[in-house]
Amino acid sequence: MSAQYLDLAVAPADTAFGLMADFEADSHPKKVSLIAGAYRNQNGDPWVLPSVKEAKKRISDATHEYLGIAGSPGFVKQAKELVFGPLTAYLQENAASIQTVSGTGANHVAATFLAKHLRPSQVFIPSPTWINHKSIWQMAGVPIVEYPYYSPSTKEVDMAGMLQSLEQAKLNDVVILQACAHNPTGVDFSKVQWEQVAELVQRKKLFIVFDSAYQGFATGDVDGDAWAVRYFTEAVLASESHPGLCVAQSFSKNFGLYGERVGALHLFVPRSLSAQGARSELMLISRAEYSNPPRYGASIVETVLGDQDLRSQWKADLDTMSSRIHHMRNLLRKKLEEETQRDWSNVEKQIGMFSYTGLTAAQVSRLREEYHVYLLPSGRMSVCGLNESNIDYVANAIGEVFRNA
Ligand code: PLP
């Protein structure tokens, strides 16, 4: 018997989950967690969206039977319409959609499928990006190139660096783009910048994987947050020779259904092809990996999106979450400027759950050790962890770290 597996070195713990465990073990009364990518209300508690609460009542006697391999057809239809809006009518023959195990599962099925069938020579992922992009594509065995995405000096997208890097891509290479509310920086492309990226992608015939984890959560505007995905999809559909595109869609944040694992993958093949074969292959992958996706969370989303009143309530819920985050950004900026006499406008300008604060790893350590304020070592702050009760403490702690450098 080979005992090689017994010699495996212990892999480093996941940074975010490791820090969350440290936070739980910390008994300091003023501790503040700005780690997790999960919404918290003004009391610092997890929030069940009122639209979700009502949908749960309506499906209380739902069945517990297996879903099909591709998931609930009603959910998949709603998910597709949500992301593609008016374009959905044009996406029939050449679109393959399946329900997935949340956004992570959608990214993973996409990587597995593309590694096998598109066979890119490399995948381009943003630097920095959601930590799992790298792990997922490493597992798929595709060489990874990190393209510059964020410039610490300008605190904006590094457009020149990105375009220069993508110019090196070859036909059918894959590019990962986050649709909105970029994790971890909170910095998105402007429409003009999206157009520049689209021009390059079309010219070089690159395959885009859109990671859409924050639609509606980013700004409260469901259609506005899907602008880039729709713009690229329209361009791909108009082209005879483009390799295609896919969208990995998550419902964790915009429905607050983190633990229910609700997601979908939408894959477009070129206009001249049918997507039936691709769809059957996606189903083969899903069947081998998890057999069929979870039913409960998808039923909640399907119920909310399929009912006018619940959908309106959901939009109001999105507004509640995005407005609270925006308000916290605004307050934090003011307080940090008072504390440090520096410009913190980037904190207010950034979008979505996260702020790339620019704090160094050493400053982040001091915040944790001396003030029990927890951020990721990259300086990424989950703005959702702030509220009226702890924002003064956090701003003051950051101020102290600057004053006593
Ligand atoms: N993609 C991005 C950019 C994310 O930030 C996240 C979660 O933080 C995900 C995908 C996946 O989330 P989930 O698997 O919960 O849908």
- Peptide bond before residue 184 is cis, with ω within 30 degrees of 0: yes
Residue 158 token pair: 């590094």
CA separation, residue 85 to residues 160, 165, 227, 236, 304 (Å):
31, 32, 10, 16, 16
For residue 1, the model assigns a pLDDT of 54
Return the CA Rg of the chain: 22
End-to-end CA distance of the chain: 56
Q: What's at 201, amino acid-wise?
A: V
Q: Taking a C-beta distance cutoff of 8 angstroms, is the pair 173, 121 a contact?
A: yes
Distance CA 288, CA 264 (A): 17
Residues of the chain with pLDDT under 70: 1-2
Partners of 374 in beta bridges: 33
The predicted structure's pLDDT at residue 5: 72
Q: Which of 211, 225, 314, 335 is catalytic?
A: 211
For the domain made up of 66-294, give the CATH fold.
Aspartate Aminotransferase; domain 2 (3.40.640)
CATH 3.90.1150.10 corresponds to the domain 4-49+322-403: yes
Bridge partners, residue 245, by sequence: 208, 268
Pocket test for ligand 1, best of 183, 188, 356 (most atoms within 8 A of CB): 183
CA distance 105 to 293: 10
Contact (Cβ atoms closer than 8 angstroms) between residue 151 and residue 157: yes
CB 332 within 8 A of CB 383: yes
- pLDDT tens, 279-318? 999 999 999 999 999 999 999 999 999 999 999 999 999 9
In ligand 1, which atom is closest to the CA atom of 263? Answer: 16
C-beta of 387 in contact with ligand 1 (< 6 A): no
Backbone angles phi, psi at 210, to 5 degrees: -85, 125
Query: Are the C-beta atoms of residues 114 and 120 closer than 8 Å to each other?
Result: yes
Q: Whose CA is nearest to atom 13 of ligand 1?
A: 103
Catalytic member of 47, 130, 314, 344:
130
Whether 33 lines ligand 1, by a CB cut-off of 6 Å, is no
> DSSP letters along 219-248, please?
TS-HHHHTHHHHHHHHHHHH-SS---EEEE
Compute the Cα dihedral for 234, 238, 240, 241 and give only its sign: negative
With contact defined as beta carbons under 8 Å apart, do 289 and 274 qualify? no
Domain spans of the chain, in order of start: 4-49+322-403, 66-294
| 65-122 pLDDT per residue, tens | 999 999 999 999 999 999 999 999 888 778 899 999 999 999 999 999 999 999 999 9
SS3 344: coil
Tokens (6 digits) for 354: 């996260």
Q: Whose CA is nearest to atom 6 of ligand 1?
A: 213
In this structure, the dihedral spanned by the alpha carbons of residues 386, 375, 362 and 343, taken in order and rounded to 10 degrees, is -40
Q: Looking up tokens 């940074």, which residue turns up?
A: 15
